[in-house]
Amino acid sequence: MLGQDPIRKSSGMGRVWNRVIAGFILVMPIAITLGIATFLYRLLTDWAGVVLQWHVFKHKDIPGLETLIRLVSLVLLVCVLYLIGWGARFAIGKRAIVAAERWMLKIPMLNVVYSTIRHIIDAFTTRKKGMFREVVLFEYPRKGIYSIGFLTNDNEENWELSEKTGTHLLSVFLPTTPNPTSGFLLFIPKEDCVILDMGVAEAMRLVISGGTISPNQSLTMKPPETATVEISKTSQ
């Protein structure tokens, strides 16, 4: 009987640990989402503290005054963004945006940041244009193992790399998992690439999730009771 106590204790601790990890997995996506939302909320409304320093606010200790200013600032920000989007439909709005972009591209260092961010946004908002044009499948790191990458350039014109190798090479960005902002630039023969029908956003979700979210999988979450974690027991 005494020899069975450690086994029962280990089994009980395993069940407790199983529940803890299951709860962690369920709570983590919610916590990360709320954390990002809180960060953006504070980032966009931190100037409310500066507004409260104005002399017009004689009673700065009114409960909820700062929160009210933050919420009003968010509403004003949405209205400003709406007006920018509405004005971009007209010629004068388009000219203003083009002028602003040209101004940003003339500033050293900032032009690199702006151009990179703009290309990344274009990759998610357009299918055929932008930095990421299409999703390609190719054999990497060895024959028989496939990887997903993003086509960045067809290189259809006379290009030194294609001319020197005698092969039509495609520029493909191979992202890393789960951080797709880093990766490798590969030059792959066109005949070795398979163009996929999935969109860039779908492929990006596939990469970030480590393959757990397939392109045709719904984002609807499973009920909490179905989220289980299998933990191998060290003691039998």
Q: Are 170 and 191 a contacting pair, CB within 8 Å? A: no
The predicted structure's pLDDT at residue 200: 85
State which residues of the chain have pLDDT below 70.
1-11, 48-62, 119-120, 122-131, 215-236
The predicted structure's pLDDT at residue 232: 43
47: helix, strand or coil? coil
Does residue 106 lie in a domain region? Answer: no
Does residue 164 lie in a domain region? Answer: yes
The predicted structure's pLDDT at residue 35: 85
Q: Smallest Cα–Cα separation from 127: which of 41, 177, 195?
A: 195
Does residue 139 lie in a domain region? Answer: yes
Range of the domain at 14: 2-45
- Give every CB contact of residue 195 below 8 A, 6+ residues apart in sequence: 134, 135, 136, 151
Q: Are 216 and 139 a contacting pair, CB within 8 Å? A: no
Does residue 93 lie in a domain region? Answer: no
The predicted structure's pLDDT at residue 1: 47
Query: Percentage of the chain surpassing pLDDT 70?
Result: 74
Does residue 9 lie in a domain region? Answer: yes
Does the predicted model carry a pTM greater than 0.75?
no
How far is CA 75 from each of CA 45, 46, 57, 93, rounded to the nearest angstrom?
A: 11, 14, 21, 22
The predicted structure's pLDDT at residue 103: 86
Number of structural domains, the chain?
2
Does residue 194 lie in a domain region? Answer: yes
Measured between alpha carbons, how far is 71 from 62 in angstroms, rounded to an integer? 16
Does residue 72 lie in a domain region? Answer: no
Q: Is 146 exposed, middle or buried (0-12, 13-18, 19+ CB in 10 A)?
A: exposed
Measured between alpha carbons, how far is 59 from 1 in angstroms, rounded to an integer? 72
Does residue 41 lie in a domain region? Answer: yes
